[in-house]
């Protein structure tokens, strides 16, 4: 595996959940990083610890418009990834996947830079094969409410593959399965963040359907390691390659784990399944194991404990501090100064 140390790396969506962790990992490895984000779902809080670092630069930019910078490598992570956010403006989601990919591929072509596309397990849709391998073409509703993301990412993969075939561009395609950890937004509508916030607030946990549908959850540190390994893989290995955890867990099991780790037992309520929600989702990571020497190492219990600690520290303690300030201002009202 190559050990090149590029002079400069662009991370689009760098202030988001995955992007912020990737920026940190790259800075720690000695790279210069340009974080590009329009802050639609990313937050400056995720990268606050990097502001001021001599090797870190932040640029507010929407990749649906061309970007003119210099770089050796590009990680294209820019796109809202949770149903709540990508369904809020589905046309813009498709534009980000398609126009954004065209713009970033054009930049990589001009610079002769390596470029990695953060694709998704959603390209498999509601899969008819289990577990999902990279040679499975998927089972996607092209007109459903999730299609802006599912089909947008599928089209992005097509563009990356064609830029490689037509122009010889050095591309990498990662199909990311469910990932969780610190820097997730509490309002992103994903199962881990939903259940964690409900448990910490002492509220009943919401499980959709009967809870028998499954997911496989990969901790963010493991996922970022996979992305870096893929970027550093030989030029003739483009992917797509699945990155995710193979430990399959039902929604009911994950809710019970989170309740136990949070030390609460407010009960579980069931809601109808959302439209086009996959029943089973689990990767076959044999290709990543063979080509990248990669597999997840963080247990679900350990990852959930670290995620709950982040939510508690980041959101609940801040809420308690704000409430305390309100009480103080009521007990000791400010007086006008003459």
Residues acting as catalytic residues: 149
CA–CA separation, 131 and 283 (whole Å) = 5
DSSP string over 81-134? -SHHHHTTSHHHHHHHHHHHHHHHHHHHHHHT-EEEEEEEGGGGBS-SSSSB-T
The structure tokens listed for 129 are 């094969």
The structure tokens listed for 334 are 């400010």
- CA distances 257 to 182, 195, 261, Å, are 17, 10, 6
CA–CA separation, 300 and 255 (whole Å) = 12
CA–CA separation, 302 and 220 (whole Å) = 12
DSSP string over 247-287? -EEEHHHHHHHHHHHHT----EEEEPPPTT--S---B--HH
């Amino acid at each position: 595996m190559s050990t090149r140390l590029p002079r400069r790396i662009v991370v689009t969506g760098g202030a988001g959940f995955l992007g912020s962790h990737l920026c940190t990992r790259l800075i720690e490895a000695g790279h210069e990083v340009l974080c590009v984000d329009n802050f639609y779902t990313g937050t400056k809080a995720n990268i606050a610890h990097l502001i001021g670092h001599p090797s870190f630069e932040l640029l507010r930019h929407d990749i649906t418009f061309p970007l003119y910078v210099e770089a050796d490598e590009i990680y294209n992570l820019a796109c809202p990834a949770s149903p709540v956010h990508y369904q809020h403006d589905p046309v813009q989601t498709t534009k980000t996947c398609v126009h954004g990919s065209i713009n970033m591929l054009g930049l990589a072509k001009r610079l002769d830079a390596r470029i990695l596309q953060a694709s998704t397990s959603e390209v498999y849709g509601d899969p008819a094969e289990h577990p999902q391998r990279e040679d499975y073409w998927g089972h996607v509703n092209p007109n459903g409410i999730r299609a802006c993301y599912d089909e947008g990412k599928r089209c992005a993969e097509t563009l990356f593959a064609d830029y490689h075939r037509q122009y010889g561009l050095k591309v990498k395609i990662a199909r990311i399965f469910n990932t969780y950890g610190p820097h997730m937004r509490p309002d992103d509508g994903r199962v881990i963040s939903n259940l964690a916030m409900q448990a910490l607030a002492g509220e009943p946990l919401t499980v959709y359907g009967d809870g028998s549908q499954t997911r496989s959850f990969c901790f963010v540190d493991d996922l970022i390691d996979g992305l870096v390994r893929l970027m550093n893989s030989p030029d003739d290995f483009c992917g797509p390659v699945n990155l995710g955890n193979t430990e399959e867990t039902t929604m009911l099991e994950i809710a019970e784990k989170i309740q136990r780790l949070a030390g609460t037992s407010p009960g579980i309520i069931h809601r109808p399944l959302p439209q086009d929600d996959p029943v089973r989702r689990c990767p076959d990571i044999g290709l990543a194991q063979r080509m990248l020497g990669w597999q997840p190492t963080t247990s679900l219990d350990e990852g959930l404990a670290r995620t709950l600690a982040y939510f508690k520290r980041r959101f609940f303690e801040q809420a308690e501090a704000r409430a305390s300030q309100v009480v103080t201002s009521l007990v000791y009202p400010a007086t006008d100064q003459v």
